[in-house]
Amino acid sequence: MKNSIIALSMITTIGLAITGCKKDDDLVDVPQPVVNEPEIITSMFLMLTDSATSTPFDTVAFRDLDGDGANAPVQWDTLRLNANTTYMMNVLLLNEIPTPADTISNEVAEEANDHQFFFNIAGVSLTHTYLDQDTNTPPLPLGLVNKIRTGAAGTGTFQVVLKHQPGIKDGQQTTGDSDVDVTFQTIIQ
């Protein structure tokens, strides 16, 4: 009799345990992740200085005032350079939506260890050299301050890509997301 009571109690306990065992279906769902909008870059300026005379040569602009919106860029200059000349080239990035405009290149400089510009040249005799770098170990190029050197006359393209590589900067253009990707028609005359 005693054994029967014990057995019955055990069966009841196990039964209650199974019944009370919560299922994954009862879990409260984890909400979808919040993805905050990244900084908007509406405008890029390539500020060129003739390195021989240290005088400003030209400022070449790309301005798309609604960012990734449907409207076409309001300004998209052609990069015109003299043959066989060396230029200092500083890159300025702005968000021109707020007033006054937000200087995004300052933030890129602050976050140098997570950013790198890449310059892809096609069809023209043009070489590029980085003049700035970050504080990674070993240091990697940044690309806000540069030197470019033209060769013979010709036409082609000059692509500027800014990669955002938080914690994973490795000097490779394929790593991370692109914050900026603009191709300028280029004429060396």
Partner 1 sequence: MKTTIYTLIALVTLLTACNKTKVSSKRLAGEHWKVVKLTIGGTAATELPEMHFSDCDPYEEVCKGDWEIGEAHAEFAWGFNEKGKKFTLSNQYTSDGHAHGGHEQEELVELSENLSGVYDVVESSRKAMKFKSSSTVGYAGQEVILEIEKE
Q: Between 20 and 53, whose beta carbon lies closer to partner 1?
A: 20
Q: How far is the CB of 114 from partner 1 (least distance, A)?
A: 7
Q: Between 4 and 53, whose beta carbon lies closer to partner 1?
A: 4
Taking alpha carbons only, the member of 47, 62, 92, 68 closest to residue 178 is 68
Q: Say how many C-beta atoms besides its own lie within 10 A of residue 186's C-beta.
A: 22
Place of tokens 């003739």: 50
Q: Are strands 79-81 and 177-188 parallel, antiparallel or unpaired?
A: parallel
Query: Could you tell me the two tokens for 24?
Result: 């994954």
Q: Which residues bind partner 1 (CB under 8 A)?
A: 3, 6-7, 10, 13-14, 17-18, 21-22, 24, 26-37, 110-111, 114, 166-168, 170
Cα distances (Å, whole numbers) of residue 155 to 89, 121, 158, 182, 188: 19, 11, 10, 17, 6
Q: Between 106 and 189, whose beta carbon lies closer to partner 1?
A: 106
Q: How far is the CB of 115 from partner 1 (least distance, A)?
A: 12
Q: How far is the CB of 67 from partner 1 (least distance, A)?
A: 12
Q: Residue 64 in contact with residue 78, Cβ under 8 Å?
A: no
Q: How far is the CB of 122 from partner 1 (least distance, A)?
A: 27
Q: Between 77 and 114, whose beta carbon lies closer to partner 1?
A: 114
Distance of CA 154 to the CA centre of its chain: 30
Q: Residue 145 in contact with residue 119, Cβ under 8 Å?
A: no
Peptide bond into 100 cis (omega under 30): yes
Q: How far is the CB of 109 from partner 1 (least distance, A)?
A: 11
Q: Between 14 and 83, whose beta carbon lies closer to partner 1?
A: 14
